[in-house]
Structure 1
Amino acid sequence: MSVLVVGMSHKSAPLEVLEKVALDPTASIKLSQLVLETPFVTESVVVSTCNRVEIYVEAERFHGAVEEVSRLLAEHADLGRDEFVRHVYVHFDEAAVAHIFGVAAGMDSMILGESQILGQVRDALLTAQTESTVGPALNALFQQALRIGKRGHAETGIDRLAPSIVTASFAAAGDIVDARDTRFLIAGAGTMAKLAVRTLVDRGVDADQIAVANRTYERAQDLSIESGVRAVRWEDLDDELAAADVLISCTGANGVVFDRPRIEAAGRPQVLIDLALPRDIDGGVRDIDGVSLIDLVVLSKLTENAELAADVKQVRSIVEDEVRTFLVAKAASQVTPTVVALRTMATDVVDAEVARIEARLPNLTADELASVRQALRRVADKLIHTPTVRVQQLVDGTGSLTYAEALADLFALDQAAVDAVTRVGGEQA
């Protein structure tokens, strides 16, 4: 059993392709369940953000799992084989572990070091737990990834460039965000909208200058009660747009919400911030005089800052160390059932021989029988000592699992016994 990830991100695909593979929460759950129904897959977690869609699975067979998971993702996105293959990436085993650890640490983000990804990875795990698509293997992997992400932010200054996509977009917008009388309109009331509201309020923006519109008015009201901003009805969106200096759109809609005619009708200079995938705002609005559009295309051009070089190096070192530690622990957990099964087999052989001797030599005293049993156990212990020590030594190397399998075969261990030890160990953990 090994971990496998199949995905696309801003690093592998243009925004036009990412829009096709984008998943809303309901679609993420459905895809994760479909993946779990395929052969060779025992666990699944889907990570879907504004700049990535990744499917993590615990797989029994690499090639079979890759084919099935890739097929489902391509079908969801309605992508032809050539286009899909051109933009998809696949990581397996150690590379997959390193990838999720790097993602959680913000090393693979559109904005280097952004911490928002930690919450998104956590949400993906919680969803998988709620939907029962995750098991002990991916649960352990994601929990460790979250710890590594927190460690990277705690021990370095990796998030100095921007702690989130929201703050990066505000930085790109310039002084208007912090101007005293700037009026904001936020379209949407989900996680990104809540983050935008919280960030603006933390920067000193008066809550009365922030309006939130959502198709479901009750959700806008919830955000209003939570933060003091104004909740407005979706049918009043155009009136609010005409009064706003900055539009922040993150609706999660399947198509464009703000097309060129709608923005032109507002009839005023504006900064438009599109944080949605698929995009909410028509890219053609860039041609309108006085209108500035900041979207994921703009944000993706932000590169590593030279002053972060030392932090980047340190976080990469943390990730590399943690990958080694995780793989050693995983190897040990896979080897232990084989060692336990071997020792159990040796004990059973000794007990059987003592019973045979007792039946053939009924006149042996209890002390004599105990001496025979002790002698047989010493012989058995000596015979299995070297292979069990050797397999434990090999845990630190790449061949530990192969050696465990060879050991099981060499001693003709009952695979059911090894599996039973594995199950018991998993239940106790």
Structure 2
Amino acid sequence: MELRGIQRDIINLSILINSFYHLCQLNYAFSVLAKILKIGYQPDTVTLTTLLKGLCINNEVKKALHFHDDVIAKGFRLDNVSYGTLINGLCKSGETKAALSCLERLKGWWWLSQISLFDAYDLYCEMVVKRIFPDVVTYNTLIYGFCIVGQLEDAIRLFNEMRLKNIVPNVCSFNILIDGLCKEGDVKGGKSVLAVMIKQSVKPDVVTCSSLIDGYFLVKKANKARYIFNAMAQNGVTIDLRSYNIMINGLSKAKMVDEAVILFKEMQFKSMTPDTITYSTLIDGLGKLGRISYVWDLIDEMRATGRSANVITYSSLLNVLCKSGHFDTAIRIFTKIKDKGFEPNMVTYNILVDGLCKNGRLKDAQEIFHDLLIKGYRLDVRLYTVMINGLCREALFDEAYGCTPNAVTYEIIIRALFKNDKNKLQ
């Protein structure tokens, strides 16, 4: 960097750490961190989380814990994403107790229905020591905790332990476990828990059905999802807004948008008011199929009903406009939402820059990209790769070399250079 005249600042060094992480070169990443600290710069939370994640992925969880303690001792801050990364790594390596202990630091971020997971775990341990049986609330809290950190085997173990100790699971117990299994794509496991639920005369409710519907869409079984949705009313289960949103989202992603629109109209007929999630999902689904006029109708309807668009809505709209070639409109809306005080996320920027690059609007893409750099935004590798791909399309290889790469980025540059040399030979 220094030999090429690139300024050695915190942004460039942080990007370098991220790149070394993606290239699985953790030793180099930590060397850069040492350089940052030596110069006197302050690494941000994202950089520290990247290093934590790298250690966990390489099964070096003890080093990750030591790094965590060192970071805290030096006065740096970690957030819920940092702890989620560490907890996930600990759980996957079998260090469940250490993972649950880490949740104490998340107190105030993750609150469960009655007591926090950390308090529940302490209470549970104390009860076991004193030979007092925990109640259903304690078990539900712990089962939920294990589910959110992806430790389903422990969640199932606790569920079975609860039943063996003659503590009767309630509808919440079953729903937590069914939802956890379905979110991991284990719908078969979710159905097995449902069978136990019915056998114990616990009536499935709207949460149970919604979890199964979501799970079936996740494993690309739309017909089974539709069957459960249609059976809900027949079995006396009241369909709520969340159920409709799950169905509309699943159908849209399965490119069954016409059915999604029918459900959208059905919920309005039943005097159920669609929310921003409903509109954003449909806008995204219709846009991906090129049905622009329907998208604008939905935008107008949102305005008329007083629904506020969010970043997801605008990202979906920009994606639609870029794919349909309406770049001037996309840039105008992008500017408008920033003027309104909305802060676009990296997904939004990726969509816009990618669309502009792919359609020869490289100057506009570069202006957005450079504006982000000047304002100190932390750009992800995907955005760099998108920009480099656009530069290579125009044979601007020197500019492409100036961007921080990952493995995919190198592949793009090599492929473009090879194609350029091949054209020169012809």
Specify if TM > 0.5: no
Which structure has the highest strand share of the two? 1
Which structure has the highest helix share of the two? 2
For the aligned pair, the TM-score class normalised by the smaller chain equals under 0.3
Higher alpha-carbon Rg: 1
TM-score using structure 1 length: 0.24
TM-score using structure 2 length: 0.24
